[in-house]
Structure 1
Amino acid sequence: MYKILLFIFISFTTVHLYAQNGGKGKITGKVIDAVTKQPVDYATISIFKQGSDSPFNGMSTDEKGNFSIAGIAPGDYRVTADFIGYKKFVIAHVIVKDGGAADVGTINLEPNQNQLKGVNIVAKAPIVENRIDKMVYNAQNDLTSQSGAAIDVLRKVPQVTVDIDGNVELQGNANIRFLINGKPSSIFGASLADALQAIPANQIKNIEVITSPGAKYDAAGTGGIINIVLKDSKVSGVNGSINLTAGTRQENGSFNLNARKGNFGVNAFFSGRAQLNTTALNTNDRTTTLPNGDMTHLLQTGSADTKRSGYQSGLSFNWSITPKDDLTASIGFDHFGNNSSGLTNQEQSLMSGATGNIVSDILSLRNSSSKFSANSVDYSLDYKKRFSKEGQELDVLFTSSNGKNTNSYTQELDYLNLNSPATGARGNNPGNDRQINISIDYTHPVTKTFNIETGAKAIIEKLTNVTNTDSLLADGSYVNNAGQSFAFNYKRNIYAVYAAASTSLFKNFLDVKVGLRNEYTKTSADFPGTVIPDYNTLAPSAVVSHKLNALETIKLSYSFRIERPEYQDVNPFFNISDPNNISTGNPNLKPEKSNAFELAYSRSFDSGANFNIGGFYRHNIDDLSQFTTPYAVLDVNGREYTNVLLTQRSNLGTQTSIGSNIFASVPVTKKLNLRTNIFLIHRENNVVDPNNDQNNLDVKAFQYRLNLNTSYQFGNNFMAEAFVNYNSSTRTLQGNRPKFFFYNFAVRKQFWNKNASIGLAATNPFSNYINQYSTTKGPTFNQSSLRQLPFQSFGITLSYKFGKLEFAKDKNKEDRDNGGDQLQHDPGAGGGR
């Protein structure tokens, strides 16, 4: 039924839009730097009626400098192109004909070398931009997140859900491909939550959310792609910024330096973050029914202290060899880690199923600690060639990412009411991760409205891991446990080719892009009894978009994607830091496959308000999810552990998700702005129990997320902002996931001509802890857990921008509109000046 309704809706909308836009044309073109010949993204394109000083329409250029503004009535217009640090470019006359397209060609913006001071930014990009293939969240315009980390910014991004532990979902799916500046990094391979908490928020320019990636993107990640774009600068001169934050729970700082002269530019940055020691309280209550009818009861209460730290640094060089040849090289160093230690009181009871009497009652105290450290180095070399034909490009990219990670733990169990020696273990788990990516992409414009893209890519991954485990003896010494000490080597090569085509149909009524990607995966692991078969993946994609006018867009997209089991999912290492709750990998996992459809509508208003609504449908096969199995006795390489829950990822049948996302930003007044985001999802899992294929489950769950952001400009460069977020609880395959509510406030004062600022921020200022209550259960066990996590924090942020060339637009809007280079232009002449 929903498919029929969707078809009726699309058909009705298409007819309505065609009737609404009949007889209107559009204005297209491209903006480049007159010196470097590189595209200028985010340049402002404004359209004026002749004789008017105020634009009635416009947009920002995309990452390739292109723009296309539809829904323009026939007539004679004035078009301007403007960007920070460049002279405004004016085309005095652009003729739009009935139903036609006026192509203004290539606009060459000249750097404004003499504009050194007395500047003022009078416009900025909206907080959320909805483009044909992605949604962009401009984090540098977000006030309340600036004292935090990347994970805090993600909590505000539409369609993204983050729980209190830093686990991220995109449209309700945790299988996400994370990139930094469009490139993969081994920093995400070791611990995603730690990596996202090591990137300071004030280092982030924007976050791109790609829910329906095209053929050019890797097919991995059934949830989609999240690209974290770090700050940089493309203007001439020397400039930079310094940001420092001191707080009660976390501290961070960053430094950026940019230098560019002529055809050569350098960018350097360093950022670091530390989470101060925090103490979390834990209670775990479990009841298990044994095969003979007896019951066990485990009660654990305790606390754990945790500290985190990390830093990122990088250096990049850009050389415009010729006006059509660019070479960019970069190197980055990253580190993050955490330390945790705690005490847990335990009571284990055994009750007779026949009489209900307590057979045994054991009291114990567990002392545990863990340490994790990750270091990575990333290299990249990018060569871009532009040909004489407009839009024809060749891009060759080489990236290499090398990571060294160490995970270690100790745990000791002392019995309080038994005359028994203490038991325990310690483990050390060092590993190396290397990934090489080589890609070639080529774009060829066949006509002005028909483009072909093609390319190839090779991904070479090699991961090595050594596990050393020692057991505690009665005399307090340790001896190596040969059964739990081993080496695990893992290799995976992925070879891909793709082709895509984009065009406009029905007299520019529809913009269409279709593509097909083929990926061949070859995997090997040297674990005994493990054979991972090679497999081939065909991943089609398509997107259809229509602009009702310059302010309204509707699009429909489809993509096929897969989720390959990652190294940590297949590593057979047993984590026994808590002997009653053990986790391990599964070397026999298969890739998850997904078909996803998405329908989205966006609308902007002259007042500055914008509105986005989207719906999606996704169906996963061989769904990868965590599954917990109870064991009265679990044998781990010759050693027995009692009353254990073993957790590992498995292929658990199918998952179907239907959801929607609503985003709105409304400037109530010139000073007050309100922003809200609502996310709704319904999931249904048809689960096949990996331990008993006769025990199938049908699990249905509903989840929602609501947030509200309000900001107010008081004048004199003083601003305040508040943010409230609520994630609902939801049913999982074997229990429930807890709700999550938090709120924060921030104020900022800018001074020294907006080159410096001071800010104050507070998160959950009226409550010390967030209570997280969850359950896990199965046919023979029931477990409830309560975690009390410290989330309250207060902080102060200092920022300073420096540099003799800090470009911005002129103060006098009338001068902007009437100045610049005048050019009489006929739309049929082609080209730019």
Structure 2
Amino acid sequence: MRQLTFLLLLISSIAFAQKPNYKGRNISKITLTGKVVETNTQQPLEYATIVLTHLKTKKVTGGVTDTKGSFSFQVPKGMYAIKVEFIGFKSKNLPNKQLTANTNLGTITLSEDAETLEEVEVVAEKSTVEIRLDKKIYNVGKDMTVKGGNASDVLDNVPSVNVDAEGAVSLRGNENVRILIDGKPSALVGLTGTDALRNLPADAIEKVEVITSPSARYDAEGTAGILNIILRKGKITGFNGSVNLTLGNPDQFGIAPSLNYRTKKINLFSNLGYSYRKGPGNSFSKFSYLGGDNVIDSIQTEDRTFDRTNKNFNASIGLEYFLTKNSSITGSFFYRNSKGDDIATNIINQLMFNNPQDITRIENEEEKGIDKQYSLNYTNNFDGKGQKLTIDLQYGESDETELSPITSNGVLTEDNSQVTKSTDKLFQIDYVLPIGEKSQFEIGHKTTLQDLSSDFKVNILDPTNNFDPSNAINFKQNIYAFYTQYGSKIDKFSYLLGLRTEITDIDLDLLTTNKTSDKNFTEWFPTVNLGYELNDNENLTLGYSRRLRRPRHWFLNPFETRSSTTNFFRGNPDLTPTFTSSFDLGYNTRVKKLNLGASIYYQISTDLIRPVSLTEVRNGNNVFVRQPLNLNDEQRYGIEFTTNYNVSKKVRLSASFNYFKFKTDAFDYTYTFTDINGNSVTKTLPLPEVNESSWFARFNSRITLPAKIQWQTRIMYRGPQASAQTDRDGIFVTNLAFSKDLFKDKASLVLNVSDLFNSRKRESVTYFGGRENPRTISDGTFQWRERQISLSFVYRFNQKKKRERPRREFDGGGEEFGG
């Protein structure tokens, strides 16, 4: 019955919007505002519905509450019967309400309905996108193509976001994106973010916030913007939860229970997970060496296969205690224990015309890692009218050990190890003060302290080889941030103005070479976010922000990877931060069943950090080193479209398209190395101006088949792209999923095929020495993970599936200022 009421309310609201005149006369409107909260905890109720029935015309209109439980919408003057509803709660009636002027109904409290409580769903199917003044929110909901997957799979399905073959995350084609968990840095991301994201189960994620124009509340780190992953937390009284079992091929097994117990005074929540997974992958590289006349005089190929086995256990548990109806304290603990056994077999074929030879090089890497994080949060909502104080404390430890012996043609040639330890501390305080009904002031401080050590030891057993790439570092990074911002809404116009300053202190000690690199700087980061509602279904946004990219420790650490004897990655301790100014103009409209969004964006970056490929000579042979450098300035601009179209209850379609163009200034890089005779050799690498473009597109369909089987298809294409040294081909990926609900909707069975055509491969050509006169050309193909087929079974107890009301069926009128 409530679903029917909500549908009628939607239709009537559209009818009101389309009929400015009633019986030929203009109907003046008033603004109705208020707030809906839960009776005991005073927590705001998002998506609560306010239904107004005109007592004379019997017309139905209304709206829904926002994330703060507030509502604001316009209705014609008149006498109304008002009903406030929320799934699982008792409705509240306000009969015979005369509305002749702007009216504030105050705070309306709703109590839980024990008879309908079990019908509430934790994993709700919300609208695909929620538009805020400074971000877009994508709800994971019933996205079947990520069932049994991980956080990387979830991010790769979010519009504007791409995850490449190696797991690197990019936003609008820019890989410098900041990833947060529940709004803060987290041990869930770990020391090496891409690997850690593969260990976070997709079922633990509720939604992803895409913040391309962050307000001053957010860290300035991340020139592309911020991806904030929001984890699921129980909101229902009583004991409830779910269990997810997954089996797959290549070998995959996972179990992920999510348990929650809540009373009037406490909320105990947990997410557990164990996974066993094999991840076969492969790569092929062909190096063509050119003589003085640009004729190939020798060729070397490297054919690698990766046989990865990963075992991962993660657990998070938290307890929220409600001190008063408006304040609470929450403590949580996260633990992850991961173990990886990776065998990389590299068959090297050196087709040198005077001395051809074959080498089989095997690296057997055993990796163990433990991550711990302790968090404490205090929240006080004061009078429940928007004034809010939050205090966060966080302490994390990460400990990772890698042992990687290497054999060549069956003989042990290297015995390598790396031990990395890190401690991270965070203190954050935020205060929000409402000013009137539509303005808000905010101020806050954040301190983050990181202390990391890495000891990389290389033991080369060949007595004729005098090259020792062993390396040890101590890395400390302390950041002290202060911010303030003010937001308000004037009629249909919203604005949020902020200013943030960050004091950065970086100390890098290169213990092996007794060198130090200290960087201390203070920078200011202004932010501007503007919004204008053209009408009930259309709005414009404009954002500006200044941001930076600090080099992470693995980019500063000059250790070299050892999987190949000729192809390495090495950090650069001389890197300096990149600063970026970003502008973003967005438009969003809804026409009946169609939702369309469009954005135009522009970025200009200074001291851009990009990896380049260098050539050195060791033991009489050429080796290729990939190293990050600061490459002067870059301009980047693009346009993005997103759309959702609900054809019918059984067919839902969505798509996104992003085109971007970038221009990087020319740059000549001079570097020095020592040759086999101990002589110092200096080379200059000319990097020409780059003026290129690329694009990517996604299409998603969800169709209900007979017997209520859900069929979902995701198609993604990432266009080709060129840089100063490398041309990269396009990538085409297709994912399929089928889902069937069982046992009166208490369980679901999901069949998922990731990368149906096994086509997720990076194919590229790199020109060493420059495009104009290359000395070596490398053709490469890389596939991190092959096609995966999985079957997941989800069982829910003390829950039933029921759709939650869409976020923006009615224009609630008030934008949320900040995050």
Normalising by the smaller structure, the TM-score range is 0.7 to 0.9
Q: How far, CA to CA, are the matches of 1:531 and 1:210 in structure 2?
A: 32
SS of equivalent residue, structure 1 residue 144: helix
How far the C-alpha of 1:516 sits from its partner, in A, is: 0.2
What CA deviation, in whole Å up to 9, does each residue of 1:146-179 have, x standing for no partner? 1322222212211111222222101211111111
* Cα pair 2:330 2:377 within 8 Å, conserved: yes
**Residue 689 in structure 1 maps to residue 668 in structure 2:** yes
Q: How far, CA to CA, are the matches of 2:54 and 2:761 in structure 1?
A: 58
**Unmatched runs of 5 consecutive residues or more in structure 1:** 1-18, 351-357, 416-421, 634-639, 812-833
* Cα pair 2:61 2:75 within 8 Å, conserved: no
Aligned position for 2:702: 711
What CA deviation, in whole Å up to 9, does each residue of 1:676-719 have, x standing for no partner? 11121112111423327883521122221122111122465432
Aligned position for 2:330: 328
The 3 A distance-change label for structure 1 pair 687 and 756 is same
* Cα pair 1:95 1:102 within 8 Å, conserved: no
How far the C-alpha of 1:77 sits from its partner, in A, is: 5.5
Paired residues for 1:8-47 under 5 Å: 26-46=31-51
SS of equivalent residue, structure 1 residue 690: strand
Q: How far, CA to CA, are the matches of 1:107 and 1:641 in structure 2?
A: 80
How far the C-alpha of 1:27 sits from its partner, in A, is: 3.7
Which AA in structure 1 matches 2:738? V
1:377 to 372, 375, 382: 372
How far the C-alpha of 1:66 sits from its partner, in A, is: 3.0
Aligned position for 1:772: 762
Q: How far, CA to CA, are the matches of 1:549 and 1:670 in structure 2?
A: 27
The 3 A distance-change label for structure 1 pair 593 and 26 is farther
Aligned position for 1:626: 611
SS of equivalent residue, structure 1 residue 185: coil
Which of 183-192 and 313-322 deviates more? 183-192
Aligned position for 2:503: 520
Aligned position for 2:659: 680
SS of equivalent residue, structure 1 residue 194: helix
The 3 A distance-change label for structure 1 pair 682 and 768 is closer
Aligned position for 1:303: 305
Aligned position for 1:66: 70
Q: How far, CA to CA, are the matches of 1:50 and 1:560 in structure 2?
A: 53
Which AA in structure 2 matches 1:41? E
Q: How far, CA to CA, are the matches of 1:487 and 1:694 in structure 2?
A: 28
Aligned position for 1:200: 201
Aligned position for 1:646: 625
* Cα pair 1:338 1:371 within 8 Å, conserved: yes
Q: How far, CA to CA, are the matches of 1:414 and 1:285 in structure 2?
A: 21
Q: How far, CA to CA, are the matches of 2:580 and 2:148 in structure 1?
A: 37
* Cα pair 2:126 2:803 within 8 Å, conserved: no
Aligned position for 2:256: 254
TM-score, normalisation: structure 2: 0.86
How far the C-alpha of 1:246 sits from its partner, in A, is: 0.8
Aligned position for 1:265: 267
TM-score, normalisation: structure 1: 0.85
Aligned position for 1:592: 578
Q: How far, CA to CA, are the matches of 1:93 and 1:205 in structure 2?
A: 40
The 3 A distance-change label for structure 1 pair 44 and 316 is farther
Paired residues for 1:229-628 under 5 Å: 229-249=230-250, 250-287=252-289, 296-348=298-350, 358-388=353-383, 390-414=385-409, 424-473=413-462, 483-505=468-490, 508-527=491-510, 528-607=514-593, 609-628=594-613
How far the C-alpha of 1:493 sits from its partner, in A, is: 0.7
SS of equivalent residue, structure 1 residue 519: strand
How far the C-alpha of 1:668 sits from its partner, in A, is: 1.1
* Cα pair 2:124 2:801 within 8 Å, conserved: no
The 3 A distance-change label for structure 1 pair 534 and 87 is same
Aligned position for 2:214: 213
**Residue 733 in structure 1 maps to residue 712 in structure 2:** no
* Cα pair 2:344 2:563 within 8 Å, conserved: no
Q: How far, CA to CA, are the matches of 2:608 and 2:793 in structure 1?
A: 46
Aligned position for 2:12: none
Q: How far, CA to CA, are the matches of 1:128 and 1:33 in structure 2?
A: 25
How far the C-alpha of 1:538 sits from its partner, in A, is: 0.3
* Cα pair 2:188 2:200 within 8 Å, conserved: no
Q: How far, CA to CA, are the matches of 1:260 and 1:601 in structure 2?
A: 40
SS of equivalent residue, structure 2 residue 323: strand
Aligned position for 2:795: 800
What CA deviation, in whole Å up to 9, does each residue of 1:560-619 have, x standing for no partner? 111111111111222233120111111111111010011111123444x32211121111
Aligned position for 1:762: 753
**Residue 656 in structure 1 maps to residue 635 in structure 2:** yes
Paired residues for 1:61-210 under 5 Å: 61-62=66-67, 64-69=68-73, 80-92=83-95, 102-115=103-116, 124-210=125-211
The 3 A distance-change label for structure 1 pair 76 and 176 is farther
Q: How far, CA to CA, are the matches of 2:792 and 2:123 in structure 1?
A: 24
Which AA in structure 2 matches 1:398? L
* Cα pair 2:45 2:65 within 8 Å, conserved: no
The 3 A distance-change label for structure 1 pair 771 and 238 is closer
Which AA in structure 2 matches 1:569? F
SS of equivalent residue, structure 2 residue 145: coil
Which AA in structure 2 matches 1:599? L
* Cα pair 2:745 2:800 within 8 Å, conserved: no
Q: How far, CA to CA, are the matches of 1:574 and 1:222 in structure 2?
A: 27
* Cα pair 2:88 2:117 within 8 Å, conserved: no
What CA deviation, in whole Å up to 9, does each residue of 1:360-386 have, x standing for no partner? 434333222333333211111111122
Which AA in structure 1 matches 2:719? S
Q: How far, CA to CA, are the matches of 1:53 and 1:295 in structure 2?
A: 87
Q: How far, CA to CA, are the matches of 1:251 and 1:339 in structure 2?
A: 16
What CA deviation, in whole Å up to 9, does each residue of 1:613-643 have, x standing for no partner? 112111111111111111133xxxxxx5731
Q: How far, CA to CA, are the matches of 2:734 and 2:390 in structure 1?
A: 44
How far the C-alpha of 1:319 sits from its partner, in A, is: 0.7
* Cα pair 2:42 2:384 within 8 Å, conserved: no
The 3 A distance-change label for structure 1 pair 516 and 674 is same
How far the C-alpha of 1:123 sits from its partner, in A, is: 8.5
Q: How far, CA to CA, are the matches of 1:312 and 1:319 in structure 2?
A: 24
SS of equivalent residue, structure 1 residue 568: helix
The 3 A distance-change label for structure 1 pair 297 and 619 is same
The 3 A distance-change label for structure 1 pair 568 and 28 is farther
Q: How far, CA to CA, are the matches of 2:742 and 2:56 in structure 1?
A: 38
How far the C-alpha of 1:265 sits from its partner, in A, is: 1.2
Tell me the number of residue pairs that the alignment of Structure 1 and Structure 2 aligns: 761
The 3 A distance-change label for structure 1 pair 619 and 112 is same
The 3 A distance-change label for structure 1 pair 378 and 119 is closer
Q: How far, CA to CA, are the matches of 1:684 and 1:792 in structure 2?
A: 35
Q: How far, CA to CA, are the matches of 1:510 and 1:48 in structure 2?
A: 29
SS of equivalent residue, structure 2 residue 519: coil
**Unmatched runs of 5 consecutive residues or more in structure 2:** 1-19, 672-683, 806-819
How far the C-alpha of 1:187 sits from its partner, in A, is: 3.6
